[in-house]
Amino acid sequence: MARLGVLLFLVQIVLAVCALISCLSAEEGKIRALPRIAWVLIILFFPLVGSIAWFIVGRQPSPGAGKGWSGGIGGGERQRPRPVAPDDDPEFLRSVEERAQQQDQELFQRWEEDLRRREDDLRRRDGEPPREGDRPEV
């Protein structure tokens, strides 16, 4: 008989600890009926009843909770569309590709300008006139 009493005492303590953690980590808008401090005090002073009351009355059920029990009640509720991951969004992928092409084009133009400038510098050192079609440096 003593073992059963110890077991029930441990279950009560575990339930109270879980209720306290749940209460203290709940968002402010998800707590119902009483303020958070009142729920904490109820759980601390009446561990068994307070814990059960917290799980039944004190917190709002999560949106996914109880889906299997709905039995058609609230079945007409539309779910919000889930956000699309960036690698699944064709518009995002297109914008990334366009940005990469634009950066590549700008880099190629800079390299080309640098190469022309260096070629012109080498020609000037050697005394050759710059090539036709090249613009002189200012």
Say if 73 falls within a structural domain.
Answer: no
Say if 72 falls within a structural domain.
Answer: no
* Partners of residue 31 on adjacent β-strands: 59
Whether 77 has a pLDDT exceeding 50, the answer reads yes
The last residue of one of the domains, among 26, 46, 61, is 61
- Measure the CA–CA gap between 138 and 131, rounded to whole angstroms: 16
Average pLDDT on 127-133 reads 67
Number of domains in the chain: 2
pLDDT value of residue 125: 87
* Partners of residue 59 on adjacent β-strands: 31
Say if 2 falls within a structural domain.
Answer: no
Domain carrying residue 101 = 86-126
- pTM as predicted: 0.46
Tens digit of each residue's pLDDT (9 = 90 or more) over 28-63: 888 888 899 999 999 999 999 999 999 999 887 766
The last residue of one of the domains, among 45, 61, 77, is 61
